[in-house]
Structure 1
Amino acid sequence: MQHTYHIHGMSCNGCRNHVEETLLKVTGVSKAMVNLEKAEATIEMKQHIPLAKFQKSLKDDGGRYSIHNQGEQQHHLEPKKEKQPQGKSTGTFYCPMQCEGDKTYDKQGDCPVCGMDLVPLQVDLSAEDSSANGQESTYKLLLKKFWVASVFTLPVFLIAMSDMLANNSLYSIMKQQYWNWVQFVLSIPVVFYAAWMFFERAYRSIKTWHLNMFTLIGIGAGVAWCFSVFGLVFPDFFPQQFKTESGAVHVYFEATTVILTLVLLGQLLEARAHNKTNSAVKELLKLAPNKAVKMVDGEEVEVGIDSIALHDILKVKPGDKIPVDGTITEGESSIDESMITGEPIPVIKKMGDKVSSGTINGNQSFLIKAEKVGSDTLLSQIIHMVNEASRSRAPIQNLADKVSGYFVPTVVAISVLTFIFWAIWGPEPAYVYALVNAIAVLIIACPCALGLATPMSVMVGVGKGAQNGVLIKNAEALEKMNTVNTLIVDKTGTMTEGKPTVEKVGVLDSGFTERDILQYIVSLNAHSEHPLAEATVKYGKVHNVKILKSFHFKAITGKGVEASISNNHVALGNSKMMSYAQVEMTINVIEAAKTFQKQGKTVSFLALDKKVVGYVVIGDKLKDTSAKAVKALQSKGIDVIMLTGDNHNTAQAVASELNLTHFKAGMLPEDKLKAVEKLQAKGKVVAMAGDGINDAPALAKSDVGIAMGTGTDVAIESAMITLIKGDLQGLVKAKYLSEAVMKNIKQNLFFALIYNAIGVPIAAGVLFPFFGILLSPMIAALAMSFSSVSVITNALRLRTIKIST
């Protein structure tokens, strides 16, 4: 039988997966499917299971989610508000281990699943101060606890180590039993203040059965401390082999305090290193100016950035940062856009050109009209996208998660077997050896490095891409880009500059003049947003052409436009548009266009009442970097294919110039989509680069959609990677970046796995029979702490890699 219930409290795929796993564990459930969008769980069971059983299962798991019948009131079943983290993108903190996917939390503290310190998330420009303060406060708190632990641990350590001296002068002051009591008192602030959070996290991990590094630390250090306290209070309970010559039981207060202090040091170093992984976002945040100069009735008024509204006129002085996205209305200057595009050479901007917030003005003043302000600016969107991508999960992380799920129970089992083995076959005092080695196994086998291996590399890699004008929407894009072997590119705006200009207006009917043809073309295109249409309208304005009224305007995607003008049916577009409008194309008309098309030009035909009367020739120069980028991609083994809606002759001319052997012309949006599907059916991993609305379906269908930042919002929304400069050279950067990040992730996973593969057997005492080597729990704690730091340090190397050719 099958029942559907409502689930309350989910906000991300991490929640969905977690609820699904919890429900599947309920006895009698054969299948459970959870839908995040509908907030529903469909459960298949052999026989009816009471709802209360599912409710108890979710409650025992931590109470973050609740389940009830469809339509039932929720207020009796909702978990306490303080336990329920906020949904995706509403909070300002997240777990670096990504335990619940991309979920964020309102309050700073511990992850409710793994116990790691939640990391501040810089969501937007206004959140910079609060996020920075949150991260700084975490670091300062850890630093304070570390110093407290160090102050009390040092004397404990010295007292314990004095035992190794032949004539211990401390015992002349008082007996060993009393010094053990001193160690106990000194250990209390370390255990119950400085490191108490580790035991809380260990308890939570066992309660929710999300076993992690704190499970091992809590059990290991807790057993050592409790054993010592018990031995101190009830020494007669233990056999002689547990006692020293003075009759006092061996205590491990020094091992407990040193282990906890070293783990604190590891957490402190992680907090410091993790702070560096966000450096790219912080550098972007610094780009945003706080003030701007606004023109009010001809006067310059300094205002706060939050006071700027759409269409305000702002003055940008030499050396100033541009405050918002806008268009230059007066003046010109050179703009340093390197912080957004990654290109070091300043760009000359003139009247009518667009400028972006955060870029730096050169040595001339100019006026701009504000077109995007606040969170709508390019800089804000970049910061938001970088934050989102930094928290996303790469598919390769599923492997690490799967290994971690079995890892902790396996380590606990190895620790128990280690104790049994040493207790039975170990030298005297056998139980002492057994206890120490069992604790060493628990402490050294930290899965934290394994959990951090992927997210740290992704975070640094995404930031590196943003600094070089490559915006990564999610970690999956980075991983897939590494395996791409086929690239589909559009022509206009991708291979070419996307700034078409009218080169000729031709007349094919003696009843019309060139100006008449131009007037019809401009009047039709005045309603279109296509780049080619904008070029003709701009050309018409230069020639003072009057725009005629048009009715029933209609744009035919991939073909052209049509409308009624002066009681005539007018159509403008390519040969497919002429067929759509039932216009006959004579040989003379076709031949007139071929000459220009073979030069790589685009020809649009104008038809009045089903007769071609003229045409317009539009040229679009190839980008200087297109040929170099294509060559670099081909050298990487990527097959580059150009699909364009333009005619065959024009496409062939462009393909020849770029040394492309594969291209297709006359491609409509559905044709590009089918081309992607056909290549994928052959087993190809396909990336698609485009900039127009007509590219959006293919971008969404491809394995990796790549949008030109100079293109339409629809194309950018459909893509997984955005090249801010709208340059194929950015695609080469994306390829190099993906290779570097995936290599770094694999290195991190190797380090983490090989470290545990070697460390656990040594801690268990496998070298003792051959070399007499045993690993102290204190050394194990030090090695464990630095394993996580080594993973983060390796990830930080990505900041220095070169991803441009």
Structure 2
Amino acid sequence: MEQRQISLQITGLNCAGCAGRAQKALAALPGVTEASVNLATAKGQVQAAPDLEPVVLVTALEQAGYPAALSRLSLDVEGLSCASCVGRAEAALRAVPGVVSAEVNLATERAEISYLTGAIRAADLRAACTKAGYPASLRGAEVDAAEQTKQRREQEITTLARQVMVAAVLTLPVFVIEMGSHMIPGLHHWVMANIGHSNSYLLQFVLATLVLIGPGRQFYSKGVPALLRGAPDMNALVALGTAAAYGFSVISTFFPQLLPPGSANVYFEAACVIVVLILVGRLLEARAKGRTGAAIRKLVSLQPKTAELISGDSVIETPVEDIAPGDLIRLRPGARIAVDGEVTSGSSFVDESMLSGEAVPVEKSRGARLSAGTVNGSAVLEFRATHVGRETALAQIIQMVEQAQGAKLPVQGLVDRITLWFVPAVLLAAALTVVVWLVFGPEPALPLALVAGVSVLIIACPCAMGLATPTSIMVGIGRAAQMGVLFRKGDALQKLQSVRVVALDKTGTLTEGHPALTNLAPATGFTRDAVLRLIGAAEAQSEHPIAKALVQAAGKDLPKADSVEAIPGYGLQAQVEGQKILIGAARLMQREGIDFGPLTKTAALWAAAGETPFYVAIEGQAAAALAVADPIKEGTPEAIRALQGQGLKVAMITGDAEATAQAIAARLGIDAIRAECLPGDKVAALKDLQDGYGTLAFVGDGLNDAPALAAADVGMAIGTGTDVAIEAADVVLVSGDLRAVEDALTVSRATLRNIKQNLLWAFGYNVLLVPVAAGVLYPFGGPLLSPVLAAGAMALSSVFVLSNALRLHHVKSSLNEVAVLPKPGAASLRPAT
């Protein structure tokens, strides 16, 4: 029996025992005849049956605790014209030994392949795809690939436009001579008198031949080989349909005696117009496909091509791809930053509106972080590159969006299974149509059978079905990125629309994540500014977060404090400008015998609202009551109301005390709370909410939120949070504003609704119009559909699907158009190290 050999790179091998267990896991699989694992090289060699899928090996090793190393690459694939092409290309790639998965996207014309590291070469994959009839090329760097894709799309549009023009010019006389004569009797007489019946047929033959061997040749060069391989696609349908119309017309022109009396008609105009209309449809498709990738092109355009590299005493204009971490770069006023870095000298303001949505430039000086794609202000900066190429946050965003755009949602599975058999089913339907018309049709049966059979071949549109889902995903996820919502995993787009409860972490999600002075009420005889100035001076030498909040509220130019002494569990005391200052909790003032009178009731109200009250005494007299709290983010109340307005339940999960959590929940109108939760408790709290309400989305930002983000049906990380939280999430909300949750839900629902509309149209179109083309209405006085009308309907069906998907560009955001990057100084979208 023929065997196939598969080579694997295995991770996690630390000793001979590890290698033995990995080898045993591989050898135990059905179909594996021999397995060996080499500890020194960390490689496995497997002899197995030809039908053994590599994914089975990967799963076995993962279960054994020694995962196989996997690599990914992208191929640009040409010649994809319908969903059947996608199926054939995927099958060819998956047949290459070592390929774990292969997904081909009709909208992006790209293949994403996951394969066993070291098992195959990129050239093998390219060759397999090309041999199947779909020429493939390896994608380079993201920026270069985007530029190449743009150029290829422009070239495709130019070529199609030229082909449409040539085909239309050649087709017009044929159409006028044949169809015009039927509609305008005078034109028929003129043709007969000046050209003659036979000469008109000969002229149509010459022009139709030029159309088919010129602009129409592509249908035959692609369709016939596909037909011979037993894998017919849309090109095969067009080739068969036009060849039937053309062939019958040639016989009618040159050998009419071979046909039954009265059936020698020509259909040259049908063959020509079919080519013209389908080429017009493909031209419109190509233009619409170009618009589906607008989000990626917008992101790529933010990446400059060059940077000014400082080398010794000189400055050299250097391509961005040649910049390395550690290089020193000069940034001119008004220049766009090429790579991520850290300022080494100079001071300027940088426009980071693409990051935060804020129009006010941010001051940058020594030590400040810079992100690629942002724009320098009016001063020169020098900075050291920290992340370049694919490591910059911008490049990682581009990769993230592209991967999500290329994802296949669960709804696509059924579509793929249907479209794989669609074209063969159409061929069978066309053949049955011809047979039925020949047996049961009125005279002349042969031309009627031909018209019906050709119409069935031409009107069927696998393109619409193939494009229905991926184009909507591509536009929807691109639009989400423009709104500051990044889908790290494409299937989250489908899951999100079924969410019934949104659970929110408190600190850093509902709130700003750091304490701030929220209230200050001075006692009689004192002023706010004077008291705050003394408080800031007394707290300036403390590193406590609350102290920092008070100093920040006090502002600059504070006096120097003397004799600062912390009183553990109570507060602190200090001498400022000769006055004794006491700052602390109520128990400190009670110990000192200082009565705050009505300010005590004010402080109690603050405490009931979830704020932490403190008191200030100056020279033994009550001076002020103040409150510190982690302030609610701007937009949070509006976001919660919006989510509840969509029929969702909103829950809060926090490690805070029950009283504080209850106060905040009451203030914001939150439906359910889970307080005093440790990181592990959050996962249990999520399970409880899922049992009570259904599908759940969790929004968090901290390191301790990672388990909950991973456990939720949909994990949504605040983009200003930690790397670990972002890595564990399905969706990243870049702006940090909770209103982006509403945007994510809106995009999800709009995209899934758009997909359903497209699928309804694509399937409904074929189910309804294929029988009409076959002539089921003819016996009841209905029309026998012309192949010309069939071609027009087929072309328009794909254009409809694409145009409908492009409507997602107009989904409205609850925020301004915000960033596609996290703020500098916060975590990036890179893996945690």
Counterpart code for 2:513: G
Following superposition, the deviation at residue 59 of structure 1 comes to 12
Question: For the structure 1 residues 64 and 765, does the alpha-carbon distance in structure 2 shift closer, same or farther, using more than 3 Å as the test?
Answer: same
Following superposition, the deviation at residue 263 of structure 1 comes to 0.9
2:205 paired residue among 161, 179, 184: 184
Helix, strand or coil at the partner of 1:475: coil
Superposition pairs of residues 349-748 of structure 1, within 5 angstroms: 349=363, 351=365, 354-362=369-377, 368-499=383-514, 600=610, 620-681=630-691, 684-748=694-758
Tell me the distance in 1 between the aligned counterparts of 2:177 and 2:128.
34
Tell me the distance in 2 between the aligned counterparts of 1:691 and 1:412.
55
Structure 2 unmatched runs, 5+: 9-30, 32-49, 62-86, 116-121, 519-538, 559-586, 592-602, 614-626, 816-833
Question: For the structure 1 residues 297 and 202, does the alpha-carbon distance in structure 2 shift closer, same or farther, using more than 3 Å as the test?
Answer: closer
Counterpart code for 2:742: V
Following superposition, the deviation at residue 781 of structure 1 comes to 0.4
Superposition pairs of residues 113-152 of structure 1, within 5 angstroms: 124-152=142-170
Helix, strand or coil at the partner of 1:276: helix
Is 1:755 the equivalent of 2:765? yes
Tell me the distance in 2 between the aligned counterparts of 1:144 and 1:110.
31
Aligned twin of 1:267: 282
2:216 paired residue among 156, 179, 195: 195
Tell me the distance in 2 between the aligned counterparts of 1:64 and 1:128.
23
Question: For the structure 1 residues 335 and 654, does the alpha-carbon distance in structure 2 shift closer, same or farther, using more than 3 Å as the test?
Answer: farther
Is 1:240 the equivalent of 2:258? no
The number of residues matched between the two structures is 672
2:809 paired residue among 778, 792, 799: 799
Question: For the structure 1 residues 292 and 123, does the alpha-carbon distance in structure 2 shift closer, same or farther, using more than 3 Å as the test?
Answer: closer
Which deviations, in whole Å up to 9, do the C-alpha atoms of 1:546-571 show, x marking residues without a partner? xxxxxxxxxxxxxxxxxxxxxxxxxx
Following superposition, the deviation at residue 653 of structure 1 comes to 4.1
Question: For the structure 1 residues 440 and 126, does the alpha-carbon distance in structure 2 shift closer, same or farther, using more than 3 Å as the test?
Answer: closer
Which deviations, in whole Å up to 9, do the C-alpha atoms of 1:36-69 show, x marking residues without a partner? 3736999xxxxxxxxxxxxxxx99997655588x
Aligned twin of 2:325: 310
Aligned twin of 1:95: 106
Is 1:281 the equivalent of 2:300? no
Is 1:333 the equivalent of 2:349? yes
Is 1:38 the equivalent of 2:48? no
Structure 1 unmatched runs, 5+: 10-22, 24-30, 43-57, 69-73, 75-83, 244-249, 504-517, 526-530, 544-587, 604-616
Following superposition, the deviation at residue 275 of structure 1 comes to 0.6
- The answer (yes or no) to whether the contact 2:90–2:102 under 8 Å persists in 1 is no
Tell me the distance in 1 between the aligned counterparts of 2:729 and 2:368.
25
Question: For the structure 1 residues 411 and 306, does the alpha-carbon distance in structure 2 shift closer, same or farther, using more than 3 Å as the test?
Answer: closer
Aligned twin of 2:577: none
Following superposition, the deviation at residue 409 of structure 1 comes to 4.1
Helix, strand or coil at the partner of 1:242: coil
Which deviations, in whole Å up to 9, do the C-alpha atoms of 1:440-475 show, x marking residues without a partner? 122112121121111111111111111111111243
Aligned twin of 1:565: none
Following superposition, the deviation at residue 497 of structure 1 comes to 2.1
Which deviations, in whole Å up to 9, do the C-alpha atoms of 1:301-346 show, x marking residues without a partner? 6554345443555555554323333455653536242x445x3643
- The answer (yes or no) to whether the contact 1:62–1:208 under 8 Å persists in 2 is no
Aligned twin of 1:222: 243
Question: For the structure 1 residues 496 and 686, does the alpha-carbon distance in structure 2 shift closer, same or farther, using more than 3 Å as the test?
Answer: same
Following superposition, the deviation at residue 259 of structure 1 comes to 0.6
2:174 paired residue among 142, 156, 175: 156
Helix, strand or coil at the partner of 2:699: strand
Helix, strand or coil at the partner of 1:489: strand
Question: For the structure 1 residues 452 and 64, does the alpha-carbon distance in structure 2 shift closer, same or farther, using more than 3 Å as the test?
Answer: closer
Higher relative contact order (CA 8 A, sep 6+): 2
Question: For the structure 1 residues 494 and 210, does the alpha-carbon distance in structure 2 shift closer, same or farther, using more than 3 Å as the test?
Answer: farther
Following superposition, the deviation at residue 784 of structure 1 comes to 0.9
Helix, strand or coil at the partner of 2:491: helix
- The answer (yes or no) to whether the contact 1:737–1:803 under 8 Å persists in 2 is no
Following superposition, the deviation at residue 33 of structure 1 comes to 7.6
Please tell me the root mean square deviation across aligned C-alpha atoms, in Å.
5.1
Which deviations, in whole Å up to 9, do the C-alpha atoms of 1:79-103 show, x marking residues without a partner? xxxxx9x9879xxx95328897778
Aligned twin of 2:784: 774
Question: For the structure 1 residues 295 and 622, does the alpha-carbon distance in structure 2 shift closer, same or farther, using more than 3 Å as the test?
Answer: farther
Question: For the structure 1 residues 212 and 666, does the alpha-carbon distance in structure 2 shift closer, same or farther, using more than 3 Å as the test?
Answer: farther
Counterpart code for 2:443: E
Helix, strand or coil at the partner of 1:488: strand
Tell me the distance in 1 between the aligned counterparts of 2:363 and 2:482.
21
TM-score, length-scaled by structure 2: 0.69
Following superposition, the deviation at residue 170 of structure 1 comes to 4.5
Question: For the structure 1 residues 60 and 771, does the alpha-carbon distance in structure 2 shift closer, same or farther, using more than 3 Å as the test?
Answer: closer
Counterpart code for 1:156: V
Following superposition, the deviation at residue 424 of structure 1 comes to 3.7
- The answer (yes or no) to whether the contact 1:4–1:41 under 8 Å persists in 2 is no
- The answer (yes or no) to whether the contact 1:500–1:535 under 8 Å persists in 2 is yes
Question: For the structure 1 residues 775 and 715, does the alpha-carbon distance in structure 2 shift closer, same or farther, using more than 3 Å as the test?
Answer: same
Question: For the structure 1 residues 658 and 502, does the alpha-carbon distance in structure 2 shift closer, same or farther, using more than 3 Å as the test?
Answer: closer
Which deviations, in whole Å up to 9, do the C-alpha atoms of 1:608-666 show, x marking residues without a partner? xxxxxxxxx99533211222212211211222222223443443444344222422233
**Bigger CA drift: 251-260 or 310-319?**
310-319
Helix, strand or coil at the partner of 2:506: coil
Question: For the structure 1 residues 366 and 645, does the alpha-carbon distance in structure 2 shift closer, same or farther, using more than 3 Å as the test?
Answer: farther
Aligned twin of 2:45: none
Counterpart code for 1:214: N
- The answer (yes or no) to whether the contact 2:654–2:661 under 8 Å persists in 1 is yes
Tell me the distance in 2 between the aligned counterparts of 1:333 and 1:747.
47
Following superposition, the deviation at residue 364 of structure 1 comes to 6.0
- The answer (yes or no) to whether the contact 2:501–2:693 under 8 Å persists in 1 is no
Question: For the structure 1 residues 491 and 760, does the alpha-carbon distance in structure 2 shift closer, same or farther, using more than 3 Å as the test?
Answer: same
Which deviations, in whole Å up to 9, do the C-alpha atoms of 1:728-787 show, x marking residues without a partner? 122111111112212222222222233334322332334444555332101110121111
Question: For the structure 1 residues 405 and 303, does the alpha-carbon distance in structure 2 shift closer, same or farther, using more than 3 Å as the test?
Answer: closer
Which deviations, in whole Å up to 9, do the C-alpha atoms of 1:575-626 show, x marking residues without a partner? xxxxxxxxxxxxx99x99x9998775799xxxxxxxxxxxxx9953321122
Question: For the structure 1 residues 620 and 61, does the alpha-carbon distance in structure 2 shift closer, same or farther, using more than 3 Å as the test?
Answer: closer
Question: For the structure 1 residues 488 and 61, does the alpha-carbon distance in structure 2 shift closer, same or farther, using more than 3 Å as the test?
Answer: closer
Which deviations, in whole Å up to 9, do the C-alpha atoms of 1:191-220 show, x marking residues without a partner? 234223323443455456555433432332
TM-score, length-scaled by structure 1: 0.71
- The answer (yes or no) to whether the contact 2:352–2:362 under 8 Å persists in 1 is no
- The answer (yes or no) to whether the contact 1:478–1:738 under 8 Å persists in 2 is yes
- The answer (yes or no) to whether the contact 2:106–2:470 under 8 Å persists in 1 is no
- The answer (yes or no) to whether the contact 2:471–2:805 under 8 Å persists in 1 is yes
